[in-house]
Structure 1
Amino acid sequence: MDKRRIATAVIGAAWGDEGKGLLTDAFSTSSTVVIRHNSGAQAGHTVQTDDGRRHVFHHFGSGTFKGATTYLSQFFVCNPIAFGAEKRALAEITNAPPVVYAHPDSLATTPWDMMINQIVEEARGSARHGSCGMGFNETIQRSKHPELTITVRNIAQMASIELCGYLERIRDDYVPARLKALGVTPSRTWQERLASPKNVSVFLDACADFLGAVGIAYGGKDSVFDASDNFVFEGAQGLLLDAERGAFPYVTNSRTGLTNIITLVREIGLDNLQVVHATRAYATRHGAGPFPREVAGLRYEDKTNVPNEWQGTLRFGESDADLLSEVIHLDYKDQSLSGIEIKQRLAVTCMDQVGPSISFWQNAARKSVGHADFLDCLRQRSGIQDIITSHGPTRSTLSY
């Protein structure tokens, strides 16, 4: 295999919001394929350029401003309605339409998946799980029924009338059964929204728009990958929200670490992988769930994670070097990496937001040290010597 083919994995090492968009942008060029290997449109990765452009990426890879191609893998859940809204927003700040491909087995979210998600989360009241309300998990749950599964392939191959029949079965049969199984009775307002015939037409229009902007391609050694010598696997959420590691039910129904990446690396035929586990200089968590080092009243500026009705206000805390090292170690330990040359790196973002002394936890004790000593502590505790730091919102503020 040609060693000039470079692959980088950008993985959140906490509860998300670690700066994955910034790092993906930094590792991308015009010849890069950014591969979305997990999650769906609920992910929000911010990229800001030195010329003032700013976008929160949901479907499109965070290398889009650099002209990178986006590939939505079989592990990514597409949302045609959200895709269209993002495409229109990007059209105002990009010079050319982004190039996007999707695997035909990628699942598709319908309006009812989003509405069920919101109805159930709303019904939980103060016991909410912290969902984004975008229907990601509901799409996966519905797709456990083969006769109700909708993929990118289905959207492309079905005539509108056939797809319409699928949607009507979802609306008329699946939705009531699903809500009953969840023990939730929707309000009259929600019942009217669920039954609205506009949902079908809106989704069909969104699917047509999606197909007009997205090429369909299998992974592996497909020509989409043959033409590139640079790949960035852009992760969503973080290791502490992983479906098999996080504190249930406050998790995402997704593998957030290396698991899907290694599968895709082998499919493409790559034999080297730079792995960048990312964290902030402090800790954050958006949504409900355990947050060991949360500090009441602590606040940092964050323009992306504004308070919303589903996840509430972004929570802040202090970094925990023990927890960080543990989850990174487990991410590597869980994988079969034979035949793949791994380069380990750590990224610490938002260094500009903390003062000259950083408070964090190591060996279950609270410490306050200068920036250089903080980074040395992370090196010692994690065993990863190569650390990237960010000192602002753009790629030009990164130090390697």
Structure 2
Amino acid sequence: MELRILGPVEIYDDRTEAPWMPTGAKQRALLGALTVKAGQVVPADRLVDELWAERPPAGAANALQAHIARLRRQLPPPPVAGAPATARREHAWLATHPLGYVLHAGRTPTDAQRFDHLLTQARTQAAAEPARAQGLLRQALALWRGPALEGCGRGTICSTEAALLEESRLLALEELHDTSLRLGQHRRLTAELRELTAAHPLRERFYELLMTALHRTGRQAEALAVYEQARRRLLHELGIEPGPVLHARLEAILRRRPDPAPHPTAPPPLPPPAADSPMDDHRPHDRSQDRPAPAPHPAPPPTRSRTRREGRGDGPPPAARPGGTGTRAGRPAGPPAPAPHEAHTAPVPGGPQGAGEGEFDLRLLHGEIAQLRHRLETLAREQRDVTDRLGRLERLTARRAPAP
């Protein structure tokens, strides 16, 4: 049995090979929030906020209890190793606590934990065995059935976790294509990378990978056009110049620097992972500890240099900001220094066992960053839609205007 949140929330029973999904929207949001916080007591007031946000009903506590009772009746019996069927039926997923409710998943994993497990294995073997790492990354990405926690509403718990999971998925995609480039598979990657740059136009890493693939196939002019496309998009949407990763790739193409030779390792056979394979730890995974393996390409420093739009006079120049070394839009930036990948994060003090206030704050910060990135892309798409509609309206009005 497996709890699934990489898509619509559901419980998959491998004994019947059938997924189970809550019927009501509130039950889906409730199961999604409790699965994200599995093994932790979730206060009742947080669940009320998750289900109704700023408009709770008059009897919110009673309404929450009713939804909890309905969800309990719908949940399939969880597996308990070595216990008879009657004991399994009596075992409850949901337990009431003086402070709230807790979902006891026991040894039942989630697909998000399997995704993290495969991702960790791939990053461990990326340097020595890129072919095997490529296979593990593909297995991890194959677990996704759609947007994470789809249909669970916009509550804080589910939306934050969904944003973090989506960021992990995009990082896995970046690592998969980077590994494929290292294996010399650049010819078949250009179409996929063009789709990714169109779907995520503010994510510079996809542009850099596409430029690399085009450069290695001898299409330097197209690679330079991709850089210009990324530059125009970033200036238009965010008012910033491309970061050090793209700038370094541009310099390498202009100076015709040779790329590293593809890794000669042949792909070893990979047995398919068992759905119920035991993992070291089934507690909720802290995504703030995720760090991708070092990429072979130059990468930006932890604090990105950003420039303002031309003509905007508010605020101090970038060089005067704390940690700012940027240049004005339109002026060439200085040569970038190699630095860790922009997705790398600072380690949490105390490690995974030192879960304290600092770790909690860092996790919230990562959630807010992921949400802001998603919001920026959403706003950019909405702005383009509004611009297109205004253009169509102006053309329609011009056609209908009476002649003088």
Q: Higher strand proportion, which one? A: 1
Larger Rg: 2
Higher relative contact order (CA 8 A, sep 6+): 1
TM range (shorter): under 0.3
Q: Higher helix proportion, which one? A: 2
With normalisation by structure 2, the TM-score equals: 0.25
